[in-house]
């Protein structure tokens, strides 16, 4: 289950690192606007130069640890899925 606090922490982290991580590509600037979880299925909504969209991915664990730090494996799933989204947008 995704709590409101976990959602807030994850979105805050993603938006904080946007300038160095996501904005450098063709679609920047990025803004992550919503996060949802249904079991192991995650959906991340965003806005960028191309408009608004969302990506979904599978991850069985939580997005942040007990200290509020984003889980590296969760972030890597997001990063990979965004790279896929970008490559699909070029097709």
Q: pLDDT of 26-55, one tens digit each?
A: 899 999 999 999 999 999 999 999 999 999
The C-alpha angle with vertex 43 and arms to 39 and 44, in degrees rounded to 5, equals 140
- Do 77 and 59 meet the contact criterion of CB atoms below 8 Å apart? yes
pTM of the model: 0.94
What whole-number distance in Å separates Cα of residue 68 and Cα of residue 90? 35
- Annotate 50-59 with b (16+ C-beta within 10 A) or e (fewer): eeeeebebeb
* pLDDT, position 46: 98
- Do 48 and 27 meet the contact criterion of CB atoms below 8 Å apart? yes
């Amino acid at each position: 289950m995704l709590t409101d606090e976990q959602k807030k922490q994850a979105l805050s982290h993603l938006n904080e690192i946007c300038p160095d991580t996501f904005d450098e590509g063709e679609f920047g600037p990025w803004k992550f606007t919503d996060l949802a979880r249904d079991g192991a299925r995650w959906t991340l909504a965003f806005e960028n130069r191309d408009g608004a969209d969302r990506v979904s991915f599978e991850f069985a664990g939580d997005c942040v640890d007990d200290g509020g730090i984003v889980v590296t494996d969760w972030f890597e799933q997001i990063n990979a899925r965004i790279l896929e989204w970008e490559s699909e947008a070029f097709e």
